[in-house]
Homo-oligomer: A and B are copies of this chain.
């Protein structure tokens, strides 16, 4: 059933370095694309059906692009979610039924590493190329953000921007814009993640309730997070390891004060510091999920220590965003 025409695109995941939660209230954040990618291959089917396989998750199903429906073939309801991103991304790139979509993920799902944005952006580029449409990066980022908004109800543009452009971005407050940071050095980071997944929507709501009830307590915490992100921006540009680490540790305490830290995250955070990390913090919404450790020269020690009780791996900044891959054969 497969035609010889076949296109593969890939896009990187991301991690938030500074400013999660505060960014909801217009404070700055810093995030980086990471060298763990989603690969999406699109090929022609002769039967006018659209079929998707996400091999790593054991998920597959048929999509109906005209009626916008999904028929799950394998996988649980929880995992069905990824097919919604793919359905909407295919439609944005004006795809018609009769394609086979193969997704391969380097990125663990639900670890706060932006797997949905990476899949969405890679799908848009692969489908556009397959459909012989040329899209600018800006258009792809916008379309992907629309897909995330559609599926999730709310979404920051951070994830889809990083999957599109790569690199490190500073999301500024006023005007609301993304500034790409030029970093003259590597930013080796260890990610540790738990199988417990926080519910981002609920965690954001929890923080808002606290802020509404006690603005005099919470507003200064957000102000401190703003100063942390601005200090970190300078430190990252300069390659000032010590300050990057110090500010991560402060940011971790502030996130704990907001109530989004957990015992598991805290254990990983302290383990990383004990193994020589210059700083460590939870990343993303918290309540489970992931932490990051900044530990130049101590990556192996930190990874193996965390791996004794949770899962960890090293990442680097992905300088390249979404791209077409050469055919494999």
Contacts and interface: CB of A to CB of B under 8 A. Distances in A.
A214 to B, nearest CB: 6
Contacts of A257: 224, 249-254, 256-257
A230 B221 CA distance: 16
Secondary structure call for the A interface = helix
A253 B249 contact: no
Interface stretch (A35-43, A98-106, A259-267): A259-267
Interface hub of A224, A227, A250 (most chain B Cβ within 10 A): A224
A69 interface: no
Contacts of A267: 263, 267
Nearest to A218: B224
Nearest to A256: B253
A214 B267 CA distance: 27
Contacts of A262: 270
A151 interface: no
B256 A252 contact: yes
A247 B216 CA distance: 12
A224 B221 contact: yes
A70 B194 CA distance: 56
Contact of A220 (B224, B231, B252, B256): B224
Nearest to A223: B220
Contacts of A31: none
A258 B263 contact: no
A220 B215 CA distance: 13
Interface in A263-295: 263, 266-267, 270, 274
Interface hub of A217, A261, A267, A274 (most chain B Cβ within 10 A): A217
A255 interface: yes
A176 B254 CA distance: 28
Contacts of A221: 220-221, 224, 254
A228 interface: yes
Interface string A33-65: 000000000000000000000000000000000
Interface of A: 210, 214, 216-218, 220-221, 223-224, 227-228, 230-231, 246-247, 249-259, 261-263, 266-267, 270, 274
- List the 5 closest A-B pairs by CB distance, nearest first: A253-B257, A253-B256, A220-B220, A263-B270, A216-B227
23 contacts: A210-B246, A216-B230, A216-B231, A220-B220, A220-B221, A220-B223, A220-B224, A221-B254, A224-B224, A249-B257, A249-B259, A251-B257, A252-B257, A253-B253, A253-B254, A253-B256, A253-B258, A253-B259, A254-B254, A256-B256, A256-B257, A266-B266, A266-B270
Given A221-B224, A253-B261, 20 more contacts: A214-B231, A217-B227, A217-B247, A218-B224, A220-B220, A220-B223, A220-B224, A224-B257, A249-B259, A250-B257, A250-B259, A252-B256, A252-B257, A253-B259, A254-B254, A256-B257, A257-B257, A263-B270, A266-B266, A267-B267
